[in-house]
Amino acid sequence: MPRKPDMTRSDPGWPVLLSAVLLSGAVAAAVAAAMLRYGVEPAPGIASVRFGEMTAAYTTRAASEGKTGEDVRAWGEALEAALNRVAERRGVVLLPARAVAAGAPDLTPEVEGTLAAILARDRAEGTAPPLEDGR
């Protein structure tokens, strides 16, 4: 025969179980809040650069000045370094201007300024522009 529950007797395990559930929920909430605040980096923005205009202007100038293949290669490496620096400094992904429909800032002048600074530094030092990976 089944026993009837004794309603006068209390079970001391319920308060402990309820406290454990509330405590683990609070810890989970604190960890989630910390991850959102400190662990997630913001997504990079998008900016455009007029690559076609930059390379066409340099190619025309290089052809008229009789630049060598080594000079063109050094310019290309300096351009890559300038693009990486501007993208890192601004926290953006650089895309060709034709690939961006509208609304992205045009960072061509900043890239050109950084490129000129890299080339001037390299001319002063008499070295080729370093690649970003240190080679």
Angle, nearest 10°, between helix axes 51-65 and 69-90?
150
Mean pLDDT, residues 93-98 = 91
Residue 47: what pLDDT?
94
Dump pLDDT digits (tens) for 40-94: 777 788 999 998 999 999 989 888 988 888 888 889 999 999 999 999 999 999 9
pTM (two decimals): 0.62
Partners of 49 in the β-ladder: 96
* Consecutive H or E run containing 52: helix 51-65
Lowest-pLDDT range of 48-52, 76-80, 112-116, 120-124: 120-124
- Whether residue 135 has pLDDT greater than 60: no
